[in-house]
């Protein structure tokens, strides 16, 4: 065989091999669609989303995409439908189904998510959270619960309180409910309830904060990096008319769920629950939490301090 023909034959074989070795885009799209149809909290909407995605694939929209580009394209395609949707590709890895949102995170964050506890001039307490750490609702001795108790105790003499959630991506609903109860009257019907296909779960704490400060002026800082459980905290207190929200509109990611392994290194986050607030009868999905007092993120703390001191 002439050298030129041998080279062409080898190139053809390599192309065929690569086509068989790499996961076909339509197969991966179909697997993602199956995961959505089987797990999305609203079965009818999940089926619609999955069917529409398969129709897009059938037109050849994704046929030329390599795995990482395919994951990015699917994320961009799905994200407008639910802010928690995302597709990831990690080579041949097959990560386990890792629950987030209203389930227990795999490990506790550093310092249980408490980034700063300080008394600012004017006796204004400042509590900043990077994450809402998990503990079981009825575990009064959980380390995360003791940590937030200690933080609140240090600020118990404040004349006003600022809870700073800028950049906080979320976490556990148990911390949301417990921390909110530190500023609400016992038994207040203001907590969000999460609805899945099979059950409901309220953020109302089984054991609320023992000595709530129901009259202390309260300000909650949010921005575009504030998501999920952090938004739930702000949304609950805003609609209960218990806190003034300061900063920028939050991310609008209300629906919790889990990463699901769909094979060939692909995983998809599917929302399998959705919160309902007893006051608004809805949630903050896609819309985010709108601030009562608008301020760019970098200036939000100063804006809240001015409000607290003026009051």
Query: Is 70 part of a structural domain of the chain?
Result: no
Q: Are 307 and 244 in contact (CB under 8 A)?
A: yes
| Structure token pair of residue 204 | 């109302």
Q: How far apart are CA 213 and CA 272, in angstroms?
A: 34
Distances in Å between the Cα of 3 and the Cα atoms of 11, 17, 70, 160, 234 are: 12, 21, 37, 82, 70
Query: Is 114 part of a structural domain of the chain?
Result: yes
The region, left, alpha or beta by phi > 0 then psi within -120 to 50, assigned to residue 293 is beta
Q: Which domain holds residue 158?
A: 110-253+278-310
Query: Is 90 part of a structural domain of the chain?
Result: no
Distances in Å between the Cα of 277 and the Cα atoms of 192, 194, 203, 237 are: 4, 9, 10, 11
Q: Are 55 and 76 in contact (CB under 8 A)?
A: no
Number of Cβ atoms within 10 Å of the Cβ of 266: 25
Give me the pLDDT at residue 23, please.
Answer: 57
Three-state DSSP at 164 gives: strand
Instruction: Return the CATH number at 230.
Output: 3.90.226.10
Q: How far apart are CA 279 and CA 184, in angstroms?
A: 15
Each residue of 272-296: pLDDT tens digit? Answer: 999 999 999 999 999 999 999 999 9
Q: How far apart are CA 240 and CA 190, in angstroms?
A: 6
Query: Is 13 part of a structural domain of the chain?
Result: no
Query: Is 51 part of a structural domain of the chain?
Result: no
Query: Is 125 part of a structural domain of the chain?
Result: yes
Pairwise pLDDT comparison (230 vs 98), residue with the higher score: 230
Per-residue b/e over 5-28, b at no fewer than 16 CB within 10 Å?
eeeeeeeeeeeeeeeeeebebeeb
Integer-rounded Cα radius of gyration of the chain: 24
Each residue of 170-207: pLDDT tens digit? Answer: 999 999 999 999 999 999 999 999 999 999 999 999 99
Q: What percent of the chain stands above pLDDT 90? A: 84
Per-residue b/e over 119-143, b at no fewer than 16 CB within 10 Å?
ebeeebbbbbbbbbbbbebeeeebe
Give me the pLDDT at residue 201, please.
Answer: 94
Q: How many structural domains comprise the chain?
A: 1
Each residue of 223-264: pLDDT tens digit? Answer: 999 999 999 999 999 999 999 999 999 999 999 999 999 999
Residue 220 in this model has a pLDDT that exceeds 60 = yes
DSSP state of 99: B
Whether this model's pTM surpasses 0.75? yes
Query: Is 8 part of a structural domain of the chain?
Result: no
Query: Is 301 part of a structural domain of the chain?
Result: yes
Pairwise pLDDT comparison (5 vs 65), residue with the higher score: 65
Q: How far apart are CA 240 and CA 233, in angstroms?
A: 11
Residue 20 in this model has a pLDDT that exceeds 50 = no
Give me the pLDDT at residue 97, please.
Answer: 44
């Amino acid at each position: 065989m002439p050298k030129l023909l041998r080279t062409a034959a080898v190139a053809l074989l390599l192309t065929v091999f690569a086509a068989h070795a790499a996961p076909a885009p339509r197969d991966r799209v179909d697997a993602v669609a199956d995961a959505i149809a089987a797990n999305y909290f609203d079965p009818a909407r999940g089926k619609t989303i999955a069917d529409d995605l398969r129709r897009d694939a059938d037109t050849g929209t994704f046929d030329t995409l390599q795995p990482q580009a395919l994951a990015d394209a699917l994320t961009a395609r799905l994200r407008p439908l639910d802010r928690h949707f995302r597709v990831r590709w990690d080579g041949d890895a097959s990560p386990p189904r890792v629950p987030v949102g209203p389930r227990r995170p795999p490990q506790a964050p550093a310092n249980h998510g408490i980034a700063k506890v300080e008394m600012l001039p004017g006796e204004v307490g400042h509590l900043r959270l990077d994450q809402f750490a998990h503990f079981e609702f009825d575990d009064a001795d959980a380390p995360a619960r003791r940590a937030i108790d200690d933080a609140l105790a240090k600020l118990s003499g404040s004349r006003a309180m600022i809870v700073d959630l800028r950049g906080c991506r979320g976490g556990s609903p148990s911390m949301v409910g417990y921390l909110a109860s530190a500023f609400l009257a016992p038994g207040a019907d203001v907590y969000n309830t999460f609805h899945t296909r099979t059950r409901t779960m309220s953020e109302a704490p089984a054991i609320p904060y023992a000595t709530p400060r129901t009259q202390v002026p309260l300000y909650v800082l949010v921005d575009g990096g504030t998501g999920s459980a952090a938004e739930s905290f702000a949304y609950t207190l805003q609609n209960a008319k218990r806190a003034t929200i300061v900063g920028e509109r939050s991310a609008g990611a209300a629906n919790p769920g889990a990463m699901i392994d769909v094979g060939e290194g692909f995983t998809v986050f599917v929302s399998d629950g959705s919160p309902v607030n007893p006051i608004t009868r809805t949630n903050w999905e896609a819309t985010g939490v709108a601030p009562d007092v608008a301020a760019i993120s970098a200036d939000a703390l100063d804006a809240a301090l001015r409000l607290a001191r003026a009051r």
